[in-house]
Structure formats: C-alpha cells, structure tokens
Amino acid sequence: MQGAGDELKRVDEAVRTQAPDFARLREDFPILARSVHDRPLVYLDNAATSQKPQSVIDCEAHYYRMLNANVHRGVHRLSQEATDAYEGARDTVQRFVNAACREEIVFVRGTTEAINLVANSYGSRFVAGDEIVITHMEHHSNIVPWQLACERSGAVLRVAPVDDHGELELDAFERLLGPRTRLVALTHVSNALGTINPVRELVARAHAHGAAVLLDGAQAVPHLRPDVQALDCDFYAFSGHKLYGPTGIGVLYGKAALLESMPPWQGGGDMIRRVSFDGTTFNDLPYKFEAGTPNMAGAIGLAAAIDYVSRIGFDAIAAHEHALLDHATERARATPGLRLIGTARDKAAILSFVLDDVHAHDVGTILDLHGVAVRTGHHCTMPLMERFGVPATVRASFALYNTRADIDALFEALAHVREVFGDG
C-alpha cells in the first residue's frame, strides 16, 4: 500500500515540474472530435457527466472481450481473473482516497446509492428527536434520503443556510449542532454553485458534538483528490462518471468501525457467509454491503479513470481548471445583463448564471445550436434555486480537456442569444 501511495506522490511531483499539454489531452477523448448541429462540440456540461478517455473505453471493452466472468464464486480461470481485476480496482480506489484499508471501500451504483445506503443502514438507528444536519446547497440526492430517514424514525432534518455568495454560513452551521445531532451530511463541492466547502473544519466541528459526517464528493473528485484520513470524515461518497469513468459505478468510503457496526442494507448473494432458514450470517466488509453481482466492468473502468487523472496529476488539473474559471468569470462579468449565481471565494470549475430577461432554457437551446452543451435547469437543487430567487440557471462546468477557446465559444454563442431576444 505504501509503495502505491508513494507512486501517486511521485507522479504528482513529476507533473508539477512539467505541466502537461492540456490541448493535446483532448485527443484522449474521442467524443470531443464529433460535431453537433454541424459545429464542433464544445462540451461544458461536465458537472452532469464528464467524457471518457480512450483508456477507460478500452478498459471496459477489454473486460468484456477477455475477462468477463462472475466474481468471487468460480474456481475457473476467468472468474479468478475477473475477481483479481475487480479487487484490484478496489485497491486503486483505496489509494485514490487514501483510505486506511481496502475493506472501507464499498462499490455502489453512484453517489445517490452510497447516500441511500448510509441513510438506510446507519440511519436505521435514528430515533425520534435525533437531528440530521444538511445544508441549503445540497443536491436532491443528499436531501431526500435524509427526509425519508426522518419520516421512518421521527428524526428532525435541520438545514444550514447559505449566504448571497453561495458560501455556507459557518456560525449558523455551528449553532445547528447539538447533543441530538447524529449525522451531518454535506457536499464537498456544490454542483450548482461550484462552492468548495471547508469540509475539514466542518468535520472537526461536527465531531466536537459527537456527530458522524458524510461528505458528498460527487462534484469534488473530478477537481481535487480527497484524503479521507486527513479530512477525518466518517463517510465519503462519489460517482465514477463525473471522474472520467463509466456510469453506474460509484464508491462509498466508510470508516471500518462504523461500517462494521452497521446492519446490511440490501440482501442477496455475495453479502452472506452462510444462509439457512433459521438465520443468516453476513459476509465481512466490504462484501456485507455489496449484495448481488457487482458492476465489475464499471469498477475496473473507474480504476482506469483514476489511473488516467493520476498520471496527469490533480495539481496540474486544478491549476488548468482554475485558469479556465478565472477566464470565464472575467468574461461573464463583462457581459451585460448576466448575473453570476455562486461567487464563493473558493470555487471549483463551475460557472452558474442567469441572463436578466431570458430564461435559462431558451439560452440552452440557442447555445446548443452553436454546438455548446451546457446544463440548464435547477440542477437537482430546487431549494437552492429558491434561495437565489431563480427558477433555473445556465451552468457551464469545466473539465481537464476544456480550453480557453471553449469558453470563448460559450460567450460568442451567448451573444447570439442577444441577437434573437434583442436587448430587452
């Protein structure tokens, strides 16, 4: 384990001294060569899902061509090879998030399933009067599972407010914590605003009140490498598909002692040790939480994606994306009638905005005809949209393969919105 971590560090070091050529990295992503409405694709919907490098596509194809067999249950050669590859992917994830041991890595469908697992399993011990703290900037998938857990248990959901810049109000957050706080669930990076929350400090504050903390890392992992031991979070959830990996695969990290103490969520094959009609004993971690045939190709593809970004290095990716965000923010501020939603000091590469007199959906349609793919809507954060008094925003989100030219294309296309709608 030590050796692998060292290798990641070494790669990061190598990258710092020699910045990669990001324009050339575009060539690793075959979809970026296609056109949309007879124009080159400008893909700025990365916070919804990112595109996949050839190495990830090849890895999945290789799995189905050469390795496919069910894991953990065959004496035959293929099953052993598939198991080795699947468990190797778990090791890669463990190193990526710096978990203390591989048993702490549970493969799930995605962030949503990871959160639901915790809400159902850890949440099965909530009792009436317990309190769960979330924030106003959570994605629906980090709101609704807790609402359901509250309905089941009689626990109370408390919501920490967000200020006009889209930053969490830390004092108000602190005031919500108390002796009945059982769990704090908050996003590492806001999908709608780009805000990076000071999660290390927030985890410490929650722990001071004896509350466990789940971090929703769906939007964080494409931009920064989480170190779950340094963060000291109890749970960390993320999806593969926003991290240049396949859809349908995600990860729940949980501290071993907590996962050990939690009841299984879904029952089925793989999660048991012995089944009889008199009673069943459950498998060890992490299999206790992996009922049924897992997404083997997905897990292996995710590992390939982690290898890909690790080769480039997160320092280099963050520097590149920050330069893009700065350029985009500057152009946005120079655009008449444009209001940025989310102006936190510490932001990931997400630019959310509204035009004063044109609805986000009309903007989205016009941008699309210019080949520019953005997300328009409420971004699964309806309470947050209400907080900012807008029904929807336009969201451009950047990935390692985006360029300044992509951002210039976005703003040129926005000028055409004015052509269609006039000056208001």
- 209, 182 contact by CB (below 8 A): no
Q: What angle do CA 206, 238, 271 make, to 5 degrees?
A: 95
Compute how many other C-beta atoms are within 10 angstroms of the C-beta atom of residue 298: 24
Half-sphere exposure of 91 (CA within 13 A, CB side): 11
- Nearer CB in complex with another protein: 74/337: 337
Rounded distance, CA 351 to CA 343, Å? 9
Rounded distance, CA 406 to CA 40, Å? 10
Q: Number of helices and strands (H, E) in the chain?
A: 15, 17
State in angstroms the smallest separation of the CB of 145 from another protein: 19
- Nearer CB in complex with another protein: 248/364: 364
State in angstroms the smallest separation of the CB of 377 from another protein: 5
- 142, 115 contact by CB (below 8 A): yes
Contacts of 166 (CB under 8 A, 6+ apart): 137, 190, 193, 194, 195, 341, 342, 343, 344, 388
- Nearer CB in complex with another protein: 411/421: 421
371-to-38, 41, 56, 59, 353 alpha-carbon distances in Å: 8, 5, 25, 29, 19
State in angstroms the smallest separation of the CB of 187 from another protein: 21
State in angstroms the smallest separation of the CB of 179 from another protein: 38
Half-sphere exposure of 190 (CA within 13 A, CB side): 32
State in angstroms the smallest separation of the CB of 350 from another protein: 19
Given the residues 59, 150, 233, 380, the one annotated as active site: 380
State in angstroms the smallest separation of the CB of 240 from another protein: 25
Tokens of 62: 């290789």
Rounded distance, CA 356 to CA 390, Å? 10
Rounded distance, CA 400 to CA 382, Å? 28
Q: Which residue has the tokens 């209400």?
A: 386
- Nearer CB in complex with another protein: 179/389: 389
Q: Which residues bind another protein (CB under 8 A)?
A: 357-362, 365-366, 369, 376-378, 382, 385, 391-392, 416, 420-422
- 60, 300 contact by CB (below 8 A): yes
380 classed as catalytic: yes
> What is the SS3 assignment for 389?
coil
- 331, 390 contact by CB (below 8 A): no
- Nearer CB in complex with another protein: 9/361: 361
- 74, 402 contact by CB (below 8 A): no
State in angstroms the smallest separation of the CB of 37 from another protein: 9
- Nearer CB in complex with another protein: 211/366: 366
- Nearer CB in complex with another protein: 231/385: 385
Catalytic residues: 380
